Amino acid sequence: MRTGPKTFTEARRALEKGETSCERLVSSFLDRIEKRNPTVNAFISVDSEGAVERARRLDSESHYGRDRSLSGMVVAVKDNICIRDREVTCASGILSGFRSLYSATAVERLEKAGAIVIGKTNCDEFGMGSSNESSFFGPVLNPFDPERVAGGSSGGSAAAVADGMCHVALGTDTGGSIRQPASFCGVVGLKPTYGRVSRFGLVAYASSLDTIGPITGSIKDAVLVLEAISGKDENDQTTADMGRGSFRTDTRPHVGGLRIGLPEEFLSEGIADDVREAIRRTASNLESGGAAIVDVSLPTSSYGVAAYYILASAEASSNLARYDGVRYGPRYGSDKRPGDRDLATSARGADAVAGTGLSLAEMYEATRSEGFGEEVKRRIMLGTYVLSAGYYGQYYEKAQRVRTLVIRDFDRVFENVDVLLTPTSPTTAFRLGEKQCDPLRMYLSDVFTVTANLAGIPGLSIPAGADSDGMPIGVQLLGPLFSEQKLLNVGRALERFAENRV
């Protein structure tokens, strides 16, 4: 039975009053993971000893001041983000047994602030999916209904927070992979502006789209995590020199005077009635708080999914070329299977590989055929095709032009409105297996999220009630570049509306 999110904001007050300790917090989450993870499958690995040891060390410091503002925050990390000396699998068989030599900047910054990493969470293989069904370790199940998906690709992170297995989690968002599972699991998911948070230590899927961000049980927790992980990083030249800054929301958040845009293209056919009603209800709440609701148009957004899957797949085909059985993971072919560690490069020259009886080209083919799952192979093939001679201009270049038009659409709209309100997903969580045999239907799950990645703008998914089956509904707020503060303030105001209604 799920208990719901346990926010760090509440735990922090108990820590400051001496009513609990970091070790007790970690122990309670480990107990919860032991009880629930066999059902939900949110975690790939759990670092019980390391988490308890760090908690004891933090308790011995006996203060929770500015330098350790996140002391006692128990964090789960999506398993495509590196932690030193810990296995990083990207939920793929091809990385079985591989351990990282360094930690991601986002992880280092959280730990420096006192956070405790408790484990690595399940995800779609290499972040490629909208349901968390493509994982080598099996699907993540939705905490509200185990017959439904948790969303993808950061489904493990969202389910872990929603089911009370950690305070917060790090996810990654390439086309909606933080926001969509947050929506499906009834928690908060923030995709920061591209360049706000360092990507150093994130295993690349589509480098011009990938973003690390928080999944939390409240806006206040999202603020704390964003403050800790944002800022310039010399290891990632795409990070913006915006300073670390503060994203604290107002004590009494208000939306008076804001102009909230409703894009007509995001409210067209194909949206579930309950989702449409949640948008209407959210808009009404914002209007009652003093905001002006404005109808707007983003005409190029209808091409967003097509452009996204061309560009993301093209980048994936390049980034995943390094997984060849030589540099990373196990070598396949002949009698080799996951876990075999024969890394000899050649016994009979460049044309043969020791211990396999295969040529180098055959070994590459065997390794990638057996090591990658079907969805990853599909996207590699699609990406290779759109980059190939004769098709590069027809597909890849056109998709880049569409991306420019999407950016211009957002720039134009944000001249007249402060924030956009849209559904996060056309539906609530769908049933396991429902879309696996129809990739196009699966890809359309991202129709409302991919354009934010194409434009690099921030997006925030927040809970907005439930459908007639009791499944969570999320609504999405989008803003101009580096407008996280405004999104978080509006999100906190919507939380207050929900709290007052309860």
Mean pLDDT of 89-107: 95
Rounded CA-CA distance 468/345 in Å is 58
Q: Which domain holds residue 356?
A: 303-389
Where does the pLDDT of residue 338 fall: very low under 50, low under 70, confident under 90, or very high at 90 and above?
A: very low
Rounded CA-CA distance 117/495 in Å is 27
Percent of the chain whose pLDDT exceeds 90: 81
The count of structural domains within the chain is 1
pLDDT recorded at residue 242: 80
């559904």: which residue's tokens? Answer: 423
The one catalytic residue among 71, 96, 130, 177: 177
Rounded CA-CA distance 429/413 in Å is 30
- SS3 per residue for 284-323: HHHHHCCCEEEEECCHHHHHHHHHHHHHHHHHHHHHHHHC
Residue 303: which of 403, 421, 414, 413 has the closest Cα? 403
By DSSP bridging, strand 419-423 and strand 472-478 are: antiparallel
pLDDT recorded at residue 174: 98
pLDDT at 344 over 60: no
The dihedral built from the CA positions of residue 451, 454, 460 and 466, taken in this order, carries a sign that is: positive
Which stretch, 58-67, 170-179, 440-449, has highest mean pLDDT?
170-179
User: Is residue 403 included in any domain, yes or no?
Assistant: no
The pair of three-digit structure tokens given for residue 184, joined into one six-digit string: 């499906």
User: Is residue 328 included in any domain, yes or no?
Assistant: yes
- 3-class SS at 480? coil
User: Is residue 293 included in any domain, yes or no?
Assistant: no
Where does the pLDDT of residue 331 fall: very low under 50, low under 70, confident under 90, or very high at 90 and above?
A: confident
User: Is residue 220 included in any domain, yes or no?
Assistant: no
pLDDT recorded at residue 2: 63
pLDDT at 350 over 60: no
By DSSP bridging, strand 472-478 and strand 459-466 are: antiparallel
Planar angle of CA 56, 61, 63, nearest 5 degrees: 115
User: Is residue 350 included in any domain, yes or no?
Assistant: yes
The model's pLDDT over 305-323, given as tens digits with 9 standing for 90+, comes to: 999 999 999 999 999 999 9
pLDDT recorded at residue 279: 98
CB-side neighbour CA atoms (13 Å) of 203:
28
Which is more confident, 200 or 68?
A: 200
Residue 368: which of 137, 136, 94, 135 has the closest Cα? 94
pLDDT recorded at residue 328: 74
The model's pLDDT over 51-70, given as tens digits with 9 standing for 90+, comes to: 999 999 999 986 554 457 89
User: Is residue 348 included in any domain, yes or no?
Assistant: yes
Mean pLDDT of 216-234: 96
pLDDT at 134 over 80: yes
pLDDT at 26 over 90: yes
User: Is residue 252 included in any domain, yes or no?
Assistant: no
pLDDT recorded at residue 66: 47
pLDDT at 245 over 70: no
pTM to 2 decimals?
Answer: 0.94
User: Is residue 402 included in any domain, yes or no?
Assistant: no
Interacting residues of 26 by C-beta distance below 8 A, sequence separation 6+: 51, 52, 55, 74, 116, 118
Total length of the chain: 502
Lowest mean pLDDT among 335-349, 372-386, 391-405: 335-349
pLDDT recorded at residue 168: 98
| CB 96, CB 135: distance < 8 Å | no
Where does the pLDDT of residue 339 fall: very low under 50, low under 70, confident under 90, or very high at 90 and above?
A: very low
Mean of all residue pLDDT scores within the chain:
92
The one catalytic residue among 71, 92, 131, 153: 153
Whether residue 177 lies in the annotated active site: yes
The one catalytic residue among 6, 78, 220, 336: 78
